[in-house]
């Protein structure tokens, strides 16, 4: 049940514009233990660089901690330096 709640919170943050670090959503996500999630990499882009997150939980934490930059998922799987260029 807790895993479903965490997933809903993560999806809510991922779909919202720019959550603030101190918002209730970010507080909850930042407290989540992402090691319990399957290793399903997400390639993301912050407007400057591509970053591979180990799973959707780590990506959601990245959204909450990316001050001043919008972080967007580019595709599932790790980023590929040959094809994922700014």
State whether residue 74 is helix, strand or coil.
Answer: strand
12 assigned to some structural domain = yes
33 assigned to some structural domain = yes
- Res 60: pLDDT: 92
Distance CA 64, CA 80 (A): 24
How many domains does the chain fold into? 1
84 assigned to some structural domain = no
Q: Which domain holds residue 52?
A: 2-76
81 assigned to some structural domain = no
Single pTM value for the model: 0.71
State whether residue 58 is helix, strand or coil.
Answer: helix
Distance CA 5, CA 32 (A): 11
Distance CA 29, CA 65 (A): 11
Low-confidence ranges of the chain (pLDDT < 50): 1-2, 4-7, 13
28 assigned to some structural domain = yes
């Amino acid at each position: 049940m807790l895993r479903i709640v965490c997933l809903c919170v993560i999806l809510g943050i991922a779909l919202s514009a720019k959550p603030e670090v101190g918002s209730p959503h970010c507080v909850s996500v930042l407290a989540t233990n992402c090691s319990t999630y399957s290793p399903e990499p997400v390639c993301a882009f912050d407007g400057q660089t591509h970053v591979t997150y180990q799973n959707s939980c780590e990506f959601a934490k990245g959204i909450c901690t990316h001050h001043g930059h919008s972080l967007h998922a580019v595709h599932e799987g790790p980023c590929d330096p040959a094809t994922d260029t700014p």
